[in-house]
């Protein structure tokens, strides 16, 4: 006795396959992720400007493996900040390319902030956690 579901309809028991719609939570979290990306981008931009203009304001760890010049870190944060803000705007506008690009840029931001840990440890950990959230929120959203 087999009761296989037909590929085009419900099974013989009358059950429907699970819905593929986004829950209101997921939609709201994607909106929140876009805003976080924009805010993180602006803060990265300001952080980069400070590192370039007044690099003596940023304390460095003397024996860190990934020690780069603070001015170089500043330019990295400026570029990443601009990209994050632009992609965040795209996410808020509902653009598909922005969701996929947002996942990649948030992953890059996570790597950069991991390497930035000795300069601003608490802030780098907060941004790293937010990047993980952004990746998750953008990955679970399904285009209608």
The tens digit of pLDDT for each residue in 31-76 reads 899 999 999 999 999 989 988 888 666 766 667 666 677 888 889 9
Structure tokens at 108: 């890059």
Q: Examine residue 103 and state whether it is found in any structural domain, yes or no.
A: yes
What pLDDT does 61 receive? Answer: 66
Q: Is residue 71 assigned to a domain?
A: yes
The two structure tokens encoding residue 6: 């037909």
Q: Round to whole Å and give the CA distance between 129 and 107.
A: 11
Contacts of 120 (CB under 8 A, 6+ apart): 47, 58
Confidence check: pLDDT of 87 > 60: yes
Domain contains 6: no
Asked if residue 29 belongs to a domain, the reply is no
Contact 58, 70 (CB under 8 A): yes
As for how many domains the chain has, the answer is 1
The answer to whether position 47 is within a domain reads yes
Q: Model's pTM, two decimal places?
A: 0.75
Asked whether residue 32 is assigned to any structural domain, the reply reads no
Q: Which domain does 51 fall in, by range?
A: 37-140
From the number of C-beta atoms within 10 Å of its C-beta (0-12, 13-18, 19+), residue 12 rates as: exposed
Q: What is the pLDDT of residue 60?
A: 66
With respect to residue 124, please indicate whether it lies within any of the assigned structural domains.
Answer: yes
Residue 107: CB partners within 8 Å, gap ≥ 6?
131, 135
Q: What sign has the CA pseudo-torsion 43, 98, 135, 26?
A: positive
Residue 22 within any structural domain of the chain: no
């Amino acid at each position: 006795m087999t009761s296989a579901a037909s590929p085009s309809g419900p099974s013989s028991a009358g059950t429907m396959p699970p819905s593929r719609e986004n829950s209101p939570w997921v939609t709201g979290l994607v909106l929140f992720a876009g805003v976080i990306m924009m805010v993180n981008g602006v803060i990265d931009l300001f952080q980069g400007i400070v590192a370039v203009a007044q690099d003596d304001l940023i304390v460095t760890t003397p024996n860190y493996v990934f020690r780069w010049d603070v001015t170089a870190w500043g330019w990295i944060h400026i570029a990443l900040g601009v990209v994050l803000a632009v992609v965040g705007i795209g996410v808020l506008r509902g653009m598909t390319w922005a969701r996929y690009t947002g996942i990649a840029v948030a992953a890059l931001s996570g790597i950069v902030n991991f390497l930035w840990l000795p300069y601003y440890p608490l802030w780098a950990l907060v941004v790293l956690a937010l990047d993980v959230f952004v990746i998750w929120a953008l990955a679970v959203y399904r285009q209608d």
